[in-house]
Structures are given as structure tokens and as C-alpha cells.
Amino acid sequence: MKILVPVKRVIDYNAKPRVKADGTGVDLANVKMSMNPFDEIAVEEAIRLKEKGVATEVIAVSIGVAKAQETLRTSLAMGADRAILIQTDEEVEPLALAKLLAKVQEEEGAGLIILGKQAIDDDSNQTGQMLAALLNLPQGTFASKVEVEGDSVSVTREVDGGLETVKLSTPAIITTDLRLNEPRYASLPNIMKAKSKPLAQKTPADYGVDIGARLETLKVVEPPKRTAGVKVADVDELVAKLKAMGVAA
């Protein structure tokens, strides 16, 4: 069984993003970029399934600029077998991403597609669900545990009320949550080996997918800075302040 793992190049979670002076977007100049943390968890889970003998091949795929090759090489260094870069300089919306991934799945015929539940740059949380709809495949979102049993996979997912376990027939789509696993660090020998692993380069036109924008970003602004809090001496003072703010009657 093949496992397809989409990965995205995003601003490193330790870096503080800056808004462009004209408010048209986020300034990416001289900013450290890395793999989306949720996608890193997806890569780790796919590799663990391969190590258990469940999967025969792990394929990483990324859609974005040429520098996304670095993200794919990280996946290969972690243990993925090969990679596909669908190169474009345009900003690709979740629906277009799902359409491209659907085309890749039609070519690869993977038994599982494992991807992060969301990307930390736009927090859309849409691609996995849209992909499942386009391919008409069962989905297990927000996975905190994955167990493959023959032609089915049990996914324990985190919901508002606690945990829910669903059993899906393969092929299936899984989106990962933070508590699924702890991604490994790529060793130096594996980083060197990753340089010789196959990385195919394609374009959206190769798949016949229109990635034209359907949404328009009007303006991007930084969130307002939080004002300093105040200390109160007792409950009576707290109630008085809440009444003055109009929060309490």
C-alpha cells in the first residue's frame, strides 16, 4: 500500500510574521521557512506505518514555489521514499490544492492520504475535507491515533465531547492532530541519502487544473496589542469594575 503525504512550506512557527507596509499580505523576505508542523506529524505517521510493514512506499507531495523542494527534502530525510513538487508561484487556495491532490491520487492510487489538519499560515482546515469530497473517499479528521487493520483503518479523532473512533475502508483520507505522534529528527546520514532520492517536478498545467484565485484578500492587518490588566484588592472591587465596564449588571 502506498501512502501519499501532502506537505506545505510555511513560516517557521518560531518566527514572528510581519505584515507588509501596504497591507497586501505577510512579508516573507528574510523569514525562516519550514514544514507545516501538522504535516510533519503526517510524514512521521506515514513512516511509522511503513516501518510496521503496513505500507510499501511513502510519497511526499508539495504545491508551491521552487524552494518547496527544501520541505520535500526534509520529508525524504525523515524517511519518505520519493517526492513530487507541483511548482507554481501563485498563491493556491484550498479548493485548488484539493483538486491537484485528487489528480495526484488518481495517478498514484494510494491506500491512505495523510495530511495535516490545517496549515499554520492560513489555518483554513479545508483541504483534507475537500479532497475527500472530490474523491468520494471516507475521512477521519483530527486524528490522535491511527491503526490499520487489513483493508480498513481505525482513526481515533478528537471532538468537542472527547474522543470518537471511526472505522474507514481504504483508500481513505486522514488529517492529523498534534497528539498523534512526536516527529523524528532527520539524521545526517539520512539527510545525505535524501539528496539522491527521486523528486519529480510538475506544474498545475500538467494536471489540467485551474488554480486561479476565487477569493480576494482586501487587507491584512496585525491584531491589536493587548492592554495591560489591573489587579483588584477584593471581590467587591472586582464586581464594581465589571459593572463600570458594563459586563455585569
The C-alpha atoms of residue 31 and residue 15 are separated, in whole angstroms, by: 7
The pTM (predicted TM-score) of the whole model is 0.84
DSSP state for residue 186 in the 8-state scheme: P
Give 122's contacts (C-beta < 8 A, 6+ positions apart).
none
pLDDT in tens, 115-129: 999 998 888 899 999
Instruction: Give the tens place of pLDDT for each residue, 61-109.
Output: 999 999 999 999 999 999 999 999 999 998 899 999 999 999 999 999 9
Q: Return all residues near 2 (Cβ < 8 A) that are at least 6 apart.
A: 55, 56, 57, 58, 59, 108, 109, 110, 111, 112
Q: What is the CATH number of the domain that holds 74?
A: 3.40.50.620
**Cβ atoms of residues 10 and 34 within 8 Å:** yes
* Angle at 136 (CA atoms; ends 133, 142), nearest 5 degrees: 60
Q: What is the pLDDT of residue 23?
A: 80
Point out the residues of the chain with pLDDT beneath 50. none
Q: Are 148 and 169 in contact (CB under 8 A)?
A: no
Whether 46 and 55 have beta carbons less than 8 Å apart is answered as yes
Q: How many other C-beta atoms can be found within 10 angstroms of the C-beta atom of residue 15?
A: 13
Number of domains in the chain: 1
What is the distance, to the nearest Å, from the Cα of residue 61 to the centroid of all Cα atoms in its chain? 12
Return the number of other C-beta atoms located less than 10 Å from residue 181's C-beta. 20
Residue 29: per-residue pLDDT: 79
For residue 143, CA distances in Å to 35, 41, 81, 116, 174 come to: 19, 11, 23, 9, 7
Do 110 and 2 touch, CB atoms closer than 8 A? yes
Structural domain range at position 146: 2-245
Q: Looking at residue 13, what DSSP letter applies?
A: T
Report pLDDT for 87: 94
Strands 26-27 vs 18-19: parallel, antiparallel or unpaired: antiparallel
- Cell numbers of 226, please? 493587548
- Of 63, 167, 59, 174, give the one whose Cα is nearest residue 128: 174
pLDDT at 51: 94
pLDDT of the residue at 145: 93
The pLDDT value given to residue 207? 93
